[in-house]
Amino acid sequence: MTFSEENYLKSIYSLQKDSPKGVSTTILAQYLESKPASVTEMIKKLDEKGLVLYQPYQGVLLNKNGELVALKVIRKHRLWETFLAKKLDFSWDEIHDVAEQLEHIKSDKLIKELDRFLGFPTHDPHGDPIPDEQGNVIKVEKKQVSQLIPGETGTCVGVNDTSSSFLQFLDQQNIKLGAVIEIVHLQDFDKSMTVRIDGRELLLSQIATENIYVKL
């Protein structure tokens, strides 16, 4: 399994939630910052290897095999993110690029020991669940802040957008995992929200409220 193959499987895994009938070549190419022609080539290879279901012009989906491989990569990615945040003092937004490299290190023992060293964490620093060795993922029912109504309260359990600009914004506003968010007011015309966090009130745009997840 090459780095590139692993990245394709991981990307398909992420994208197929929103495209359950098949992830299109163009979408995948955009996600991977690559070109559709390159994607076609690679998914044909992954199909021959028995990792994905590919039907020309119909997009691609992971099969059982491919999903397991993807989940193992995601497990490694999230364990490394946890290591970087908890042990090496990396901030929310610095984690991703390095974990993107570390996730491809090949050593079963390494990932087993890392898991133990970190105390068998269940979620990474962005609130995403860490799959276990068999590829099982704990599903947390979570809502976007945008789905709450004024008066409701939620606890921040994760984010959707993990771009550094968004994560830096959250840092500045002191919005962390576990933060309690209360909806004070919904501005009707642009769907922005006034929310209370740690006693402070602040305004979040619709883009922001759609990218922050809470549990009730």
Partner DNA sequence: AAATAAGTTTAGGCAAACCTAAAAAATATA
Partner DNA sequence: TATATTTTTTAGGTTTGCCTAAACTTATTT
Q: Given the rule CB under 7 A, which residues bind DNA?
A: 2-5, 24-27, 32-42, 44-45, 54, 56-57, 59
By beta-carbon proximity to its own copies, the closer residue of 106 and 200 is 106
**Residue 179 dihedral angles phi and psi, to the nearest 5°:** -65, 140
Instruction: Give residues in contact with its own copies (CB under 8 A).
Output: 84, 87-90, 94, 97-98, 101-102, 105-107, 109-110, 113-114, 117
Residue type at 17 in one-letter notation? K
Question: What does 214 bind: DNA, its own copies, none (CB cut-off 5 to 8 Å by kind)?
Answer: none
Reduced to 3 states, what is the DSSP secondary structure of residue 62?
Answer: strand
Question: What does 113 bind: its own copies, DNA, none (CB cut-off 5 to 8 Å by kind)?
Answer: its own copies
By beta-carbon proximity to its own copies, the closer residue of 113 and 201 is 113
What are the beta bridge partners of residue 61?
53
Q: Quote the DSSP letter at residue 139.
A: P
By beta-carbon proximity to its own copies, the closer residue of 58 and 107 is 107
By beta-carbon proximity to DNA, the closer residue of 39 and 70 is 39
Least distance in angstroms from the C-beta of 189 to its own copies: 42
Least distance in angstroms from the C-beta of 204 to its own copies: 29
What are the beta bridge partners of residue 155?
180, 215
Question: Are 46 and 9 contacting, i.e. CB atoms less than 8 angstroms apart?
Answer: yes
Spell out a b/e string for 149-167, using b for 16 or more CB atoms within 10 Å of the CB, else e.
Answer: eeeeebebbbbeebeeebb
Q: Quote the DSSP letter at residue 57.
A: T
By beta-carbon proximity to its own copies, the closer residue of 67 and 115 is 115
